[in-house]
Amino acid sequence: MTDSTTAPAASAASTQRTPSTRTAKTLAEKVWDAHLVKRGEDGAPDLIYIDLHLVHEVTSPQAFDGLRAEGRPVRRPDLTIATEDHNTPTVDIDKPIADITSRTQIETLRRNAAEFGIRLHPLGDAEQGIVHVVGPQLGLTQPGITVVCGDSHTSTHGAFGAMAFGIGTSEVEHVLATQTLPLTPFKTMAITVEGTLKPGVTAKDVILAVIAKIGTNGGQGYVLEYRGSAIRALSMEGRMTICNMSIEAGARAGMVAPDDTTFAYLKGRPHAPKGEQWDQAVAYWRTLASDDDAVFDAEVFLDADELEPFVTWGTNPGQGVTLAGAVPDPASMADPQQRASAERALEYMDLAPGTPMKDIRVDAVFMGSCTNSRIEDLRAFASIVKGRRKADGVRVMVVPGSARVRLEAEAEGLDKVFTDFGAEWRFAGCSMCLGMNPDQLAPGERCASTSNRNFEGRQGKGGRTHLVSPLVAAATAIRGTLSSPSDVASEVLV
């Protein structure tokens, strides 16, 4: 590397935009500008300060190795926190991890955290859990901050009005060493959802409908800002579910402007500001909402009143229909790429065009993942299954997002509701969302899953995934076929 080299001038084809030329700003632009260490010149990216770095065992070992090789310390251990989630077991957590490679990865994280002075919540700790559940519940995720993690679902934290996005391992090393990232400004897209959601229609259905509308690459290069009365009416858990799946629309980040719902959720949490600092923080947080005359690079509108429970039929999150609908016919698709993709998806999913979604029988129901494993999600699932028995032959797994959520659920007696129903009540982790631990589907098995990706082989080689909300997962677990909450509401309890 030579010091004499200089970055090239921006090419005419560059899509880079310069937010500073606008006086009225969006939420995303305000957070970006507040973290600008250095404005990039001549086509070079901006240097952005990172307020919070979340670390887990899968994408960090090689980053710590890189630091060691260069003799570099972690610049800000006090802005870094680690937890174990991706391949932790969700049963027998008091026993040594059976899988040797999983154990090595966990042990490597423990060694790295100790060596570099990073706070770690290991398996068995009350604050252990999925990294995107842990940050918010500790009050570390706050409005207006920048959050990164070596995990694409970091977009979850945008629900608080933070700018939060997933990064690769090289970038993890970069943030550990410098607490900054060189980044090219994102474009902004407003996704406005006005109206009132019908009973039984939830945040998960909203985001699946958004992805079906704009496509799995529709958000590419954008930060999505979710707005409108239907978003304002959502709880923080619901907003997290929506922001979580922004990456499934191709976007790096999703955001919701902070409001009283946000502040009420944060107040009193272990790392929320206290006393006078709380007032200062809230005063600042209230300035973050997009200015009325701010201009977005793209806008999308959805009518909340028209939304229905949504479910995927294919192998990407954009391949979804309403639960009352049917498997589409690829032959009716005009775009050849879309048609080919749908044909391959139906072959993998073993589904015939025209099959009503509600006729599809499942082998398993997975209730968990960083998308839907917070206490509110577990309460929603419990509200449907309480006092009932699961369908014969269907395996039902309930995996809380964190050890803290598990404790909360048990304090409310939800564990009893789940086990009486016939479900497995497990310990916290990513579990069957990505099947890095033993929680996997067998080849050919079909699962209604509250997770975020229905990719081929994601939940286990040959496994078939239908993405659903917790309410739809619950109704499906009762009937054994994809079902909406209204399908079971009128049934007599067993």
Among 26, 80, 244, 450, binds other proteins (CB under 8 A): 80
Contact mark string toward other proteins, 286..325, x via CB under 8 A: ------------------------------x---------
| CB-nearer residue toward other proteins: 10 or 233 | 10
Pairing, β 395-398 against β 364-367:
parallel
Among 77, 195, 228, 325, binds other proteins (CB under 8 A): 77
- ∠ CA(380), CA(385), CA(387), 5° rounding? 130
| CB-nearer residue toward other proteins: 18 or 62 | 62
Residues 261-280 that bind other proteins (CB under 8 A): 268-273, 277-278, 280
281 binds other proteins (CB under 8 A): yes
9 binds other proteins (CB under 8 A): yes
Residue 20 one-letter amino acid: S
245 secondary structure, DSSP code: G
Among 19, 26, 29, 59, binds other proteins (CB under 8 A): 59
Identify the sign of the CA torsion 456, 460, 464, 466. negative
Q: Compute the distance between CA of residue 313 and CA of residue 171 in angstroms, rounded to an integer.
A: 34
87 binds other proteins (CB under 8 A): yes
Residue 432: closest CA among 89, 167, 128? 89
What is the nearest approach in angstroms of other proteins to the Cβ of residue 360?
A: 22
Identify the sign of the CA torsion 168, 174, 175, 177. positive
| CB-nearer residue toward other proteins: 127 or 259 | 127
Residue 466: closest CA among 271, 280, 300, 323? 323
39 binds other proteins (CB under 8 A): no
Q: Compute the distance between CA of residue 77 and CA of residue 32 in angstroms, rounded to an integer.
A: 22
Residues 320-359 that bind other proteins (CB under 8 A): 337, 340-341, 344
Candidates 176-184, 236-244, 355-363, 369-377; binding stretch for other proteins (CB under 8 A): 176-184
Among 131, 145, 399, 482, binds other proteins (CB under 8 A): 145
161 binds other proteins (CB under 8 A): no
What is the nearest approach in angstroms of other proteins to the Cβ of residue 384?
A: 30
20 binds other proteins (CB under 8 A): no
Candidates 49-57, 297-305, 355-363, 479-487; binding stretch for other proteins (CB under 8 A): 49-57
Among 252, 390, 464, 479, binds other proteins (CB under 8 A): 252
What is the nearest approach in angstroms of other proteins to the Cβ of residue 24?
A: 24
105 binds other proteins (CB under 8 A): yes
Residues 107-126 that bind other proteins (CB under 8 A): 108, 119
Asked if residue 236 lies in contact with residue 136, where contact means CB atoms within 8 angstroms, the answer is yes
18 binds other proteins (CB under 8 A): no
End-to-end CA distance of the chain: 72
Query: Token digits for 172?
Result: 């993890």
11 binds other proteins (CB under 8 A): yes
What kind and span of H or E run contains 176? helix 169-178
Contact mark string toward other proteins, 392..431, x via CB under 8 A: ----------------------------------------
What is the nearest approach in angstroms of other proteins to the Cβ of residue 452?
A: 10
Residues 475-494 that bind other proteins (CB under 8 A): none
| CB-nearer residue toward other proteins: 59 or 128 | 59
Q: Compute the distance between CA of residue 434 and CA of residue 439 in angstroms, rounded to an integer.
A: 9
At what angle are helices 375-385 and 236-244 packed, to 10 degrees? 100
Pairing, β 163-166 against β 146-149:
parallel
Total residues binding other proteins (CB under 8 A): 99
Q: Compute the distance between CA of residue 214 and CA of residue 195 in angstroms, rounded to an integer.
A: 20
Candidates 58-66, 223-231, 294-302, 478-486; binding stretch for other proteins (CB under 8 A): 58-66
Residues 123-142 that bind other proteins (CB under 8 A): 138-140, 142
| CB-nearer residue toward other proteins: 224 or 382 | 224
Concatenating the DSSP letter of every residue in 351-374 gives: --TT-BGGG-B-SEEEE-TTTS-S
Candidates 363-371, 378-386, 391-399, 451-459; binding stretch for other proteins (CB under 8 A): 451-459
Identify the sign of the CA torsion 450, 453, 455, 461. negative
Q: 51 by DSSP, 3-state: which?
A: coil
Q: Compute the distance between CA of residue 172 and CA of residue 416 in angstroms, rounded to an integer.
A: 40
Asked if residue 50 lies in contact with residue 181, where contact means CB atoms within 8 angstroms, the answer is yes
| CB-nearer residue toward other proteins: 170 or 196 | 170
Q: Compute the distance between CA of residue 102 and CA of residue 107 in angstroms, rounded to an integer.
A: 9
Q: How many CA atoms lie within 13 A of 266 on its CB side?
A: 25
Residue 105: closest CA among 47, 154, 169, 50? 169
What is the nearest approach in angstroms of other proteins to the Cβ of residue 204?
A: 18
Classify each residue of 301-334 as buried b or exposed e, where b means 16 or more C-beta atoms within 10 Å of its C-beta. Answer: ebebeebbbbbbbbbbbbbbbbbeebbbebeeee
150 binds other proteins (CB under 8 A): yes
